[in-house]
Amino acid sequence: MNKRKPISRKEFFQALAGLFLIFAAWIWSRMSNFQIEKENRLEFRHGKDIQPGISYFGKYYIFRSENTTRAFSTTCTHAGCRIGNSRGSMLQCSCHGSQFEAETGKPLKGPAIKPLQEFECRFDQKTGQWVVSLQPVAGKLSQS
Residue 2 placed within a domain: no
pLDDT tens digit sequence for 88-139: 788 888 888 888 998 888 998 888 889 998 888 888 888 888 888 887 776 5
**Omega before 111 cis (within 30°)?**
yes
Residues 71 and 114 placed together within one structural domain of the fold: yes
Nearest Cα neighbor of 84 from 115, 122, 55, 118 is 55
Residues 25 and 96 placed together within one structural domain of the fold: no
Residues 62 and 80 placed together within one structural domain of the fold: yes
Residues 53 and 105 placed together within one structural domain of the fold: yes
Domain CATH code at residue 128: 2.102.10.10
pLDDT band at 20 (very low <50, low <70, confident <90, very high): very high
Mean pLDDT value of segment 55-72: 86
pLDDT band at 142 (very low <50, low <70, confident <90, very high): very low
Range of the domain at 53: 45-136
List C-alpha distances in Å: 16 to 4, 12, 22, 26: 20, 6, 10, 15
- The answer to whether residues 54 and 89 touch, using CB atoms and an 8 Å cutoff, is yes
| E strand or H helix that includes residue 21 | helix 9-40
* Cα(140)–Cα(42) distance, integer angstroms: 20
Q: b/e map of 28-55 (b: 16 or more CB within 10 Å)?
A: eeeeeeeeeeeeeeeebebeeebeeebb
Residues 97 and 120 placed together within one structural domain of the fold: yes
Nearest Cα neighbor of 120 from 144, 142, 91, 89 is 142
Q: How many domains does the chain have?
A: 2
**pLDDT number for residue 32:** 67
Residue 141 placed within a domain: no
Residue 1 placed within a domain: no
**pLDDT number for residue 38:** 54
Residues 24 and 66 placed together within one structural domain of the fold: no
- The answer to whether residues 61 and 102 touch, using CB atoms and an 8 Å cutoff, is yes
Q: What is the DSSP letter of 76?
A: -
